[in-house]
Every structure is written in structure tokens, then in C-alpha cells.
Structure 1
């Protein structure tokens, strides 16, 4: 299968690596020139769960790939989704499957502007990753990659992608309610990502603080309220908090992506996470003080660092 990875940062490289190792024809797409040059010349240097490897991979800018793909995995930052879809329009054919594994909320509406709904597959992953230098990444985890077709009549297409991921070692599973897992993943990023970024700490350090229970309860309650009102999704608050704590035990040494963004002077995805919950709460006539404060503090930190804030949806 011809596969493009649209947005080949840490997670994109990790997925591309696994798919190529299992025999798929993979092309990495990105706009970071140093990253492209390093991988094109020296291959991808990647450490997967502590094991180092180097793999020669094709990589170029999105506008330099000139053939239709069978499948495209989208791994941009939330605020970069629109521009990426515009730049890869020429490689999307009538049967090209587009698999979205982005953090954040509201991406299906954006994708529908560029792809027939029958070809959109939404999903979540709990694998973690990071970039150590151009062309050098690490990738960790063993959790599931949950996928579901957006069009109820297109389950067969989603199952093909699930099978491909499973065979590649990425633990693909089919979900009958990916909206639920998307909201639960948003809770992961709205707590771990945001708090680690604000406190300049690893997940383990944040989850060891004396205030973690209060912070988790406040943020998760606001996410759960909006999930119910906006998408009719029922998140069990206590179960979600338990899930977050169990996950933190497994990936505690990790600095999540929002922390990595600030460390590298890049804008964060906060407007598609806590910011999205705060804005939705206003529409419903309720307050979300935790999410609003977290969003304001992240943007304040971006301002102090001179980072151009990401546009809101």
C-alpha cells in the first residue's frame, strides 16, 4: 500500500517507521528542511522502546510528492491541519483513505472540506514520541491505536487500516465509539500536556504533586460537561481520572508534546484542547474556570517567550 505520513514529526516518524518495516511503501512529508535533509541523506535514526535503529526512508515536502496515495496518515499540529490538507490535495484520490490521529477536538469538520466523508477514518493513539534532533527521534508505548470510519457504511475500509496497523506492531483496534476515546484522549492532553508545559516538568513530577487530585478533578469535570452537552458523550469522571493516573505510571518520565513545543519555541495546541472546552462552555452559558485559566496561562507563557500564538478554530 502506498502511504504518506502528512506531518512527520516524532509520532509521524514512529508510525512511518513501523509501517515501512512491515512492508508498506511509505513517504514521509514535512516542511522542516533540516529534518528532511537529515533523513533523506542518513535515514531515520529512531529509538523504539529503548532499542535503537536506522531505516532509510523517502522524505520530501508535501508539494514534492506527485502520485496518489492509497492512505494518508495525518500527524500535523491541530493548527496546521488546514494548511497541510491544502498542500496534499493533489495526492488524494477518490479512494484515498485519510486517517486522522491528531490531538485535540473538532478535526472532522476541517477534514470534510477536503476529503469525502466515506474516506475519513478518525482515531486516537496513546503512543508517545519526541524529536531529539533533526532526523533523530524516539517512540514509546504498546497501547492501542483505535480507529473508526466516519461514514457508518464504510467499516470495511477502516478494518483494512486496522489490520495493517496491527500487522505493523502498532496495535490497531476497531472502535465502535471513537468519539468517546477522542474525548478521553483530549482529557489526557488537557491535563498531562498542559500541566507539564506550565510546570516545566515530566508527567511523573506533575502527578506526584500535592494538588494533582484537585487539578485533575477540575479539568476533567469541565471536559466531561462539554462532551455531554456538545457530542452526547458520557465520560465517567472518576474512571477517567483513574485512567489518567494509570497512564501516568506507564509514561511518567516523558515530557509531552506541549512541553516540547514550548521548549522549541513553537505555539501549542491549547486552543484545540482546554481552549476549545472553555469556548464551548461559553456557548452553553456555563463556566469552565480551570480550562480558561490553563488556556490563559499557556498563552501568557507563549507571549513571554515571544511565540506567535496558534490561531483558534
Structure 2
């Protein structure tokens, strides 16, 4: 199985590493020159549950990849999904399966412009990963990866990819309702990512504050209302409990948005998480003031830090 990871930051590198370790033929695709150079010259350095490993794995810029691949896992930042898909069009053949595992909501709208519906898979992963420098990632804990074919009739191919993920230790799951899981993860990210970024705090530090539960409930309430309009039923109490549980299990972890903005001075995916809920709420005639304010605050923080 020839596999490409399009967007090989922290999470993309995690998947590339684990799929490579399982014996798959894997290539990484990225645009960060320092990251590419480090991996090409020194390999990918992985701190895996406290043990350091170095693997030699090919990495290319999007315009350098010419070989046919069977499966592409998309791990770009949400705002770069379209540009990446456009640049890698030469390797997306009529039978290439493209799996979108990005944070946020609504990526299928972009995917449809570049990938046939028969070859589209959408999903969600709750693994974590940290990028500690060019060519260096830190991995710990456990997680799962849930996917579903976008168009009915693609179940068999989707389940083949699920098996590949299982064999690589990525705990693949075939979903009958991945849209629910995508919305639930987006809600978790909406409650944790931006708040920890604004507070410059880990998940645990955030939930040690007296305000954490109140803030979380306000965010979740707006997500629940908008999700219902999207025919997704998120249970308010269950979702709040799940977020609290996540914060306890990963208390020392800085979420990906904090890693992007505070640690690497990069633009965030806020418009595809809290911003998406605020935008959809307005379209549906609802109000989402908490998510709208959080989105504005993150954009202000990006400008203050001159994020790129």
C-alpha cells in the first residue's frame, strides 16, 4: 500500500511514523522548508512515550511528488486544504482514496472541488502529537481514528483503510455516523483549543480555574444549537462531561492551536471551529456570542503576534 501524508506537521508525522513502522510504503508531503530539510538530512526524530527513535522516511514539497499513491491522508491546517489538494492533483488518480482528518467543520465542501465523491472519506482522530522543532515530534498516550466513506457504496474501500490503521496501531474504526464524531470533536476543540491559547495554559491549568466550567457550557450550548440545524444531535450534558474528562486525561497537554500560535507563531484554524459555529449560527438566525467573541480574540492575538 502506497500512502502519502499531505501536511506532515505533528499529527501528519505521527500517522506517517506509525504507518511506516507497520510496513507500509509511506511518503510525507509538506511545505515547511526547515522541516523538510531536517527530515531529509537527519530523518524524522520521534520521542515515542519517552523513547527516542529516528526513522528515514521520504519527504517532498507538493510539486515534487510524481509517483502514484493508493491513499492520501490529509493533515494540513484547515485553511490550507484547498491549496494542498490543488498542488497534489497530479497524484490523485481515478482510484486514489483521499481521507480528510482535519480539525473543524465543513471540509467536505472543499474536498468536493478536487476529489470525486467515490474516493472521498471523511473522519476524525483523537490522537495527540507535538511538534518540538523541524523534523522532531513528541508522541504519547493513545487515541483512535474514525472514518466513513462520503458516498454510499464505498464501504469496502473504507474498511480496507480502517484495517491499515488498525494494523498500524492507530485504532481504526469504521463509522456509520462520522458526522456526529466530527461535530463532537469540533466542540471539544472549540471549548479547549482557543481558551487554552488565549490563557496560555495547558488543559489542566485551564480547568483548575473557577471559570472553566461556565465558559465550557456557554461554548457547548452554542455548538449544540447549531449542530441540531445540521441534523447532528449533540447531547449537552454528555458533551460537557466528555470535555472535562478529556481535560483531566490530557491535563499537561497544550492543544494544537496553542502549539500553532503561541509556540510556532502560526495562524490558527479558529475560523473552522468556533468561527464556523458563529458563522452558521448567523445563517440560521441563531446567536453564538461566546464563539464569535472567542474567534475575534484569537484573530486579535494573531495580529498582535504577527502570526504567519
Q: How many residues align?
A: 307
Q: How does 1:121-140 map onto structure 2 within 5 Å? A: 121-140=121-140
Q: Equivalent residue for 1:255? A: 254
Q: Map Cα deviations across residues 210-256 of structure 1 (whole Å, 9 max, x no partner).
A: 01111111001101111111x20000010011111111111111111
What is the match of residue 237 of structure 2? 238
8 Å Cα contact 2:128/2:143 also seen in 1: no
Q: Quick check: 1:127–1:139 contact (8 Å CA) kept in 2? A: no
Task: Indicate conservation of the 8 Å contact 1:126/1:141, yes or no.
Answer: no
In 1, Cα distance between the equivalents of 2:299 and 2:100? Answer: 26
Q: Distance in 2 between matches of 1:51 and 1:103?
A: 28
1:188 offset after TM fit, Å? 1.3
Listed as ranges, the gaps of 5+ residues in structure 1 are 309-313
Cα deviation 1:104-142 (Å, max 9, x = unaligned): 111001001000111111111111111111111112331
SS of the residue aligned with 1:93?
A: coil
Tell me by how many angstroms 1:53 deviates.
1.0
Tell me the secondary structure at the aligned position of residue 261 of structure 1.
Answer: helix
Q: Following TM superposition, where does structure 1 have runs of at least 4 consecutive aligned residues deviating by more than 6 angstroms?
A: none
Give the Cα–Cα distance (whole angstroms) in 2 for the partners of residues 57 and 51 of structure 1.
18
| Aligned mates of 2:141, 2:152 — CA distance in 1 | 30
Q: Distance in 2 between matches of 1:283 and 1:161?
A: 36
Match of 1:156 in 2: 156
The two structures have a TM-score, normalised by structure 2, of: 0.98
Segments of 5+ residues of structure 2 without an aligned counterpart are: none
2:25 maps to which residue? 25
Distance across 1 between alignment mates of 2:132 and 2:13: 12
Q: Counterpart of 2:129 in 1: which secondary structure?
A: strand
Match of 1:311 in 2: none
Aligned to 2:117: 117
Contact 1:11 1:139 in 2 (8 A): no
Matched, 1:205 2:208: no
Report what 1:298 is aligned to: 298
Describe the superposition over 1:163-203 as per-residue Cα deviations: whole angstroms up to 9, x where unpaired: 00000000001111000000000011111111111000001
Residues 196 and 256 of structure 1 are in contact (CA less than 8 Å); yes or no, is this contact kept in structure 2? yes
Q: C-alpha deviations, 1:25-46, integer Å up to 9, x for none? A: 0000001111111111111101
Alignment partner of 1:82 is 2:85: no
Give distance in 1, aligned partners of 2:273 and 2:67.
34
